[in-house]
Amino acid sequence: MVAEKERDVGAQITSQSQSPTPKTWRFWVVIISLCLMNFVSGLDATCLAISLPKVANELEIGHKYILVYSCFWLAQTVFQPICAQLSDIFGRKTPTMISILVFAIGGVVSGTARSSAALIAGRTIQGLGSGGIFCLMEIIICDIVSLRERGKYVSLVMSTSAIGAVVGPPIGGAIAEFNWRWIFYINVMLSGIDFAVVGIFMHLQYTRLPWTEARTRIDWVGSFIFVAAMSSLLIALGTGGTLYPWNSWYVLVPLALGAAGLVAFALFENSQYCKKPMIPGHLFRNRTTVAAYGMTMLFASLHTWGGFAWPVYFQAELRLTPLKAGINYLVFQAFLVFAAGISGTLLSKLGYYQPLQFIGFALLSLGTGLSILLKPDTRTILWVVFLAITAIGLAFVMTTILPAILAPLAESDVATATGVFSFLRSFGFMWGSTFSVVVFNSAFDQFASKIRDDTVQATLARGQAFESISSPYIDNLPGQVKAEVIQVFDDALNVVWEVALALALFGMLLVLVEKHVPLRTQLDTKYGLEDKRRNAILSTVVRAQI
């Protein structure tokens, strides 16, 4: 019933007004603030990804390097639905500033780390801040931009993250060759600028509540169950196949506890005891939103999947330095920015998200499938084309998912639904970054018998190969042994690309499950810019529906 009403509202508004609301200077100041936040996040992610082999080698992290990835995504993932609910209660600005501050503190801890434990602790703190930044960025866009225009502005803001990702690899590669700690120090300085800009210029309205009333609106029990369950589940997923075998009780126990906790969370959220659920059940009662949530996990997984595989190809097979590998990866980020702008504009003009999503997953399938053909002697023009196809496909999907999720829902569900979107996206990011490594390590061990030198085989087995891809160890091997090692890298990467192809093909099937819902062109929200006026058309239509 809720979905039907929203479709009717969207259709009526679309027929009555196609003109977007004029944008004031306050609007653009908020957009610039969001762009700055996203730039820092994009810079952080790619700087570390390209230099992690050297960091892992210096701190002697060994096979525990996977925890540097997984701890960040774990912290980022579990915090986002909670952050969305808090932003509904305390407004958007205060949680945003706190998130930026926490991210900066984590950067200080990571930059000064002298051990793997300290680095993992710092990345965990950064993950908490990053979770709030990502979640609130999209919620704020939804507060100030109509559903029809959201794809365009989401692509604009996310493009700055991609720009950060574009400059990140060469910066990260260059810094890794001198002092990798400045990767974190630079982010701390940029976060300080972010904090000041948001504090001074971001003025968003919300209904202030006394603390005694505000605390009753927080889903304390649900939040506790959710954090405990997801932490347990993500720990299992992050360590299985890397630190411990999948049949180890270190993996099976937290996996079982996490699964049981999620069941308990779902039951509690839909019970009479939960007055203000953190994730209401009605969000999952229409096929379009559910399918779009599934696609969220897929595109996020494929994003970090490629973010792992391409640097490994450049450094392990082409034998490039981290700096040169980062420069090569600029191709992906450049095409991602370009295509995101196109897809967001097309969505705003046409109002149809399904065709764009289908084209996106089709291109992702083509790009990942072609990547299976990559070899150490592949010509440059070919891998550039493969990268470009993959990037364009990813851009067409990522800018059209959120409008599809929100189209069947009421505007009052925006923060909660966006929080779930951010949560699933981060879960997908972690799943992609974790399982791409798991698949790679498993495949490498499977093909390691092709290395006839038993000592070299043992040195690179059981998760040690990734740490060695940018070290002089492989280059100093005898010619025949070196060729065998590179061939095993190639075989293992082929398996990684084959799994990515399967994920992309599944995404095409999910697009077919969706149903077209008209995208609303006007806003009806109690949040947004402080000087924003209510739109009479939407208010009249919504009251008529009620």
The predicted model gives 375-384 an average pLDDT of 93
Cα separation, 62 vs 119, whole angstroms: 13
Burial class (CB in 10 A: 0-12, 13-18, 19+), 49: buried
Which regions of 1-57 does DSSP assign to beta strands (E)? none
Residue 365 pLDDT exceeds 60:
yes
Q: Average pLDDT, whole number, for the chain?
A: 82
Decide if 389 contacts 367 (C-beta within 8 A). yes
pLDDT tier for residue 11 given thresholds of 50, 70 and 90: very low
Decide if 336 contacts 395 (C-beta within 8 A). yes
| DSSP run (H or E) holding 327 | helix 322-350
Q: What's the confidence (pLDDT) of residue 357? A: 96
Residue 16 pLDDT exceeds 90:
no
Q: What's the confidence (pLDDT) of residue 3? A: 45
pLDDT tier for residue 364 given thresholds of 50, 70 and 90: very high
Decide if 463 contacts 245 (C-beta within 8 A). no
Ramachandran category for residue 274: left, alpha or beta (phi over 0 → left; psi -120 to 50 → alpha): beta
* Mean pLDDT comparison of 65-74, 86-95, 249-258, 502-511, highest-scoring range: 502-511
The CA dihedral of 480, 482, 485, 487, to the nearest 10 degrees, is: -70
Q: What percent of the chain has pLDDT over 90?
A: 24
Cα separation, 525 vs 406, whole angstroms: 14
Q: Look at residues 222, 512, 233 and name the one whose alpha carbon lies nearest to residue 362.
A: 512
Q: What's the confidence (pLDDT) of residue 500? A: 96
The amino acid at residue 389 is I
Alpha helices (H) in 399-519, listed in sequence order: 401-406, 414-447, 454-460, 465-468, 472-475, 479-513
Q: What is the CATH topology of the domain spanning 2-204+214-218+276-545?
A: Growth Hormone; Chain: A; (1.20.1250)
pLDDT in tens, 509-546: 999 999 888 877 666 665 556 654 444 443 443 344 43
Residues in the chain: 546
Q: Looking at per-residue confidence, does 183 or 100 come out higher?
A: 100
Q: Return the exposure string of 419-443: e unless at least 16 CB atoms fall within 10 Å of the residue's CB, then b.
A: bbbbbbbbbbbbbbbbbbbbbbbbb
